[in-house]
Amino acid sequence: MGALLRHGNEAQKNEYLPRIANGELRLQAFGVTEPTSGTDTGALKTTAVLNGDRYIVNGQKIWTSRSEYSDLMLLLARTTPRDQVTRGIDGLSIFILDMNAAKAAGGLTIQPIRTMMNHSTTEVFFDNVEVPVANLIGEEGKGFRYI
């Protein structure tokens, strides 16, 4: 939640923070790790492509704890293709994803990963998930700095 607290705009803070604080919304999921990138965050392949007043998100995250129990996710996705940036960590943006809306629209799939210890970890798939431009935290392409 630190990214929202430190880098979210006033409208985002007013919309989400009181509802998180009173327990109405659960922000417990952080979508960063992907199966093909390992510890190289700059190699992320999940994309968020601007289309009018929405970003269209496609890709996959893994080892995303608490996503089955969260209403919101902080999602790191590539908004500038990797071959158009100097460093891999450039061109990444962070979004507030309304997981309930994405599931209801049929674009978000969550699959539990069974582990010996119960950390409620999952694999999350994004298939044309729409995220309003208003849910971009900070400046587009600078999301790595915010996490």
d(CA 73, CA 107): 14
pLDDT along the chain (147 residues), means of 10: 91 96 94 89 95 98 92 97 93 97 96 80 96 97 92
Q: Which residues pair with 66 in a beta bridge?
A: none
> Residue 64's closest CA among 50, 48, 75?
75
Predicted local distance difference test score (pLDDT) of residue 118: 67
d(CA 25, CA 111): 21
Predicted local distance difference test score (pLDDT) of residue 22: 96
Predicted local distance difference test score (pLDDT) of residue 45: 95
Between the alpha carbon of residue 33 and those of residues 11, 54, 75, 105, 124, the distances in Å are 28, 23, 10, 24, 10
23 contact partners, CB below 8 Å, separation of at least 6: none
Predicted local distance difference test score (pLDDT) of residue 18: 95
- pTM of the complete model: 0.93
Predicted local distance difference test score (pLDDT) of residue 40: 87
Residue 43 structure tokens: 């190699």
104 contact partners, CB below 8 Å, separation of at least 6: none
Predicted local distance difference test score (pLDDT) of residue 126: 98
What is the H or E stretch that residue 56 is in? strand 54-65
- The length of the chain is 147
